[in-house]
């Protein structure tokens, strides 16, 4: 579906009724990352998955920064009549959830931080983003999918679930080069969110695939330790795209969190 906002079109899907759970995908994904969560929302939950700026059916945001994207998401929430929501993000979506907390915390009634990290890019990481922009420009989204795919899933998924690997590969190949370029700028320039972890005073669930090599479990353990009263769930047999690789386990953890913390 499409919703028009003052900042342009936003692609989204939703399922279920009740307390809103807004899901933000990673890089270079689109809202179909959350297909399995849309298929089985936690009880009493309205799950909404957005295409982030320039991905899927969404228009680009004018400024490639995560703070600007947070304002863009708040605008999408206005258009979808969501005064508040539990905000869940995977990887880049998690970085964006932190930006929403910084800029629009009244809109955030809970956080789900999946396969993400609080820290900013290292200098080396920033240089890799710039190199990836050059690759995307020269060779297209397929080259980015090739570069990202090995880290996107865990070794168990690689061995046992070719369909999940193909699903993610096809999603990344669909990304527009312009969206990849802008997202890489937003990722490269994002601030360190570590200092704000202690300010998070809404129910928070941290999820991580046990085999995640891009944002390893130790990053999630550090976030859980720093966020007051946060809960951590490690999903066995999953890597970075845990919501795709182990949807039943991911959804069970999500449902348990929503039921326990938002009765």
Closest CB to ligand MLT among residues 107, 190: 190
User: Is residue 214 part of the contact set for ligand MLT (CB under 6 A)?
Assistant: yes
Q: Of these, 22, 50, 92, 111, which contacts ligand MLT (CB under 6 A)?
A: 92
Q: Residue 192: phi, psi to the nearest 5?
A: -70, 120
User: Is residue 209 part of the contact set for ligand MLT (CB under 6 A)?
Assistant: no
With beta carbons less than 8 A apart as the criterion, state whether 28 and 172 touch: yes
| Angle, helix 66-79 to helix 92-104, in steps of 10 degrees | 80
**Minimum gap (Å) between residue 24 Cβ and ligand MLT:** 10
HSE of 127, CA atoms in CB hemisphere, 13 A: 3
Closest CB to ligand MLT among residues 243, 258: 243
- Torsion angle defined by CA atoms of residues 42, 43, 44 and 47, in that order, rounded to the nearest 10 degrees: 20
**Of 150, 133, 119, which is closest to residue 184 (Cα–Cα)?**
133
With beta carbons less than 8 A apart as the criterion, state whether 8 and 60 touch: yes
**Minimum gap (Å) between residue 243 Cβ and ligand MLT:** 11
Residues in 115-154 that interact with ligand MLT by CB under 6 A:
none
Closest CB to ligand MLT among residues 66, 258: 66
Closest CB to ligand MLT among residues 92, 175: 92
User: Is residue 180 part of the contact set for ligand MLT (CB under 6 A)?
Assistant: no
The side-by-side arrangement of strands in the sheet containing 2-5 is 2-5, 8-15, 45-50, 19-24, 85-90, 108-114, 204-209, 231-235
Closest CB to ligand MLT among residues 46, 240: 240
SS3 49: strand
**Minimum gap (Å) between residue 194 Cβ and ligand MLT:** 15
User: Is residue 91 part of the contact set for ligand MLT (CB under 6 A)?
Assistant: yes
d(CA 208, CA 231): 11
User: Is residue 223 part of the contact set for ligand MLT (CB under 6 A)?
Assistant: no
Place of tokens 């720093």: 226
Convert residues 12-51 into a mask of x (bound to ligand MLT by CB under 6 A) and - (unbound).
--------------xx------------------------
User: Is residue 181 part of the contact set for ligand MLT (CB under 6 A)?
Assistant: no
Which residues form the interface with ligand MLT (CB under 6 A)? Answer: 26-27, 91-92, 187, 214, 240
């Amino acid at each position: 579906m499409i919703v028009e906002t003052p900042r342009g079109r936003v692609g989204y899907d939703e399922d279920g009724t009740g307390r809103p759970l807004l899901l933000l995908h990673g890089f270079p994904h689109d809202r179909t990352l959350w297909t399995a969560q849309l298929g089985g929302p936690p009880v009493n939950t309205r799950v909404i998955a957005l295409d982030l700026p320039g991905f899927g059916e969404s228009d680009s945001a004018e400024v490639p920064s995560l703070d600007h994207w947070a304002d863009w998401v708040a605008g999408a929430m206005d258009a979808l009549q969501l005064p508040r929501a539990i905000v869940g993000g995977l990887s880049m979506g998690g970085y964006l959830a932190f930006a929403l907390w910084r800029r629009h915390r009244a809109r955030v009634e809970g956080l789900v931080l999946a396969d993400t990290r609080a820290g900013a890019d290292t200098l080396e990481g920033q240089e890799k983003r710039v190199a990836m922009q050059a690759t995307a420009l020269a060779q297209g989204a397929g080259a980015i999918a090739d570069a990202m795919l090995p880290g996107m899933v865990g070794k168990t998924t690689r061995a046992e679930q070719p369909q999940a690997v193909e699903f993610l590969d096809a999603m990344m190949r669909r990304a527009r080069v312009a969206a990849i370029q802008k997202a890489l700028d937003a990722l490269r320039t994002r601030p360190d969110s570590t200092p704000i972890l202690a300010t998070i005073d809404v129910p928070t669930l941290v999820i991580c695939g046990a085999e995640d090599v891009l944002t390893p479990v130790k990053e999630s353990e550090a976030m859980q330790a720093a966020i007051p009263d946060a809960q951590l769930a490690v999903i066995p047999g999953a890597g970075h795209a845990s919501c795709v690789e182990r949807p039943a386990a991911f959804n069970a953890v999500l449902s348990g969190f929503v039921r326990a913390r938002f009765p």
